[in-house]
Chains A and B, each alone.
Chain A
């Protein structure tokens, strides 16, 4: 581990913040989804860094499970986006407000 851990963790923090900005400011459901993937990957990077820092492989196993959940989440989410697009002809999240009181 030639590069110290705080550099990796700082990269992870900045990537997470970028993903958060994307979720908050973008309106296309697809881009919001990609920003969520960005945040998941930032968390993965932090987990792998800590796994290396502590010399334990458990963090990498958790990353494996996050990968599984992310794959399922993408499949379900994109199916929902396609479904919404079919019935409402839009992927703009502000036009989908059926639950608004």
Chain B
């Protein structure tokens, strides 16, 4: 199990580096897929079978496919050309991120309590479902509303603009507001 964890953690870290270091967005998407798959195995190691299945179905199955679709749709123009000025100067960004990472590591290193004993069915669909439909019923219903709003929003955003509004010049300030 320790070997499995080491392999999975290594794959996840390699994928994480791949997401932020790849030149081409498609490679980033495939690296993201690697991270998500590794994390699904991680969830299995942590007795979260239901979440592991959801991770594969929703994240790896739906979200990454959506990313790849959009990359295909934007095709050639989505490539990122090397630019001179990064968002944050590297001299600032690297120490800042390292500091935040070290703080995170320091905090989590203190979580050394022994794990609680769990029954055979911890993390199964029955177990999670029972909590979801009893104590978390209201958030569950709210989640359905969120999904509905997301669907309506995507349709509204995806509708083609009128011909007059699409011809806004790239430098102009008058983007066709809705």
Partners in one complex: yes
| A57 CB contacts on chain B under 8 angstroms | 122-123, 127-128, 131
Q: Are B154 and A76 in contact, with the CB atoms below 8 A? A: yes
> What is the interface size of chain B, counting residues whose CB is below 8 A from a CB of the partner?
91
Instruction: Convert B105-130 into 0s and 1s, putting 1 for each residue whose CB lies closer than 8 angstroms to a CB of A.
Output: 10111011101111000110001100
A-B contact count (CB 8 A): 262
SS of B interface (majority)? helix
Set A1, A31, A98: member contacting B115, Cβ < 8 A: A1
Q: Are A87 and B176 in contact, with the CB atoms below 8 A? A: yes
Residues of B within 8 A of A (CB): 1-2, 5, 9, 12-13, 16-17, 19-20, 22, 25, 28-29, 32, 35-36, 39, 42-43, 45-48, 50-51, 54-55, 58-59, 62-63, 66-67, 70-71, 73-74, 77-78, 80, 83, 86-88, 90, 93, 96-98, 100-101, 104-105, 107-109, 111-113, 115-118, 122-123, 127-128, 131-132, 135-136, 139, 143, 146-147, 149-151, 153-154, 157-158, 161, 165-166, 168, 170, 173, 175-176
Set B28, B45, B136, B150: member contacting A34, Cβ < 8 A: B28
Q: Are B17 and A5 in contact, with the CB atoms below 8 A? A: no
Measured in the bound complex, the distance between the Cα atoms of B158 and A80 in whole Å is 8
Q: Are A87 and B175 in contact, with the CB atoms below 8 A? A: yes
Set B13, B43, B50, B86: member contacting A14, Cβ < 8 A: B13
Q: Are A87 and B9 in contact, with the CB atoms below 8 A? A: no
| A37 CB contacts on chain B under 8 angstroms | 32, 59, 63
A35 to chain B, nearest CB (A): 6
Residues of A within 8 A of B (CB): 1-22, 24-28, 30-31, 33-35, 37-38, 41, 44-46, 48-58, 60-61, 63-65, 67-76, 78-83, 85-95, 98
Measured in the bound complex, the distance between the Cα atoms of B58 and A94 in whole Å is 31
Q: Are B87 and A34 in contact, with the CB atoms below 8 A? A: no
| B111 CB contacts on chain A under 8 angstroms | 5-6, 9, 50, 53
Set B50, B93, B116: member contacting A60, Cβ < 8 A: B50
Q: Are B131 and A58 in contact, with the CB atoms below 8 A? A: yes
Given the contacts A18-B17, A34-B67, A76-B150, A11 and B9 also touching, CB distance less than 8 Å: yes
B31 to chain A, nearest CB (A): 8
| A16 CB contacts on chain B under 8 angstroms | 101, 104
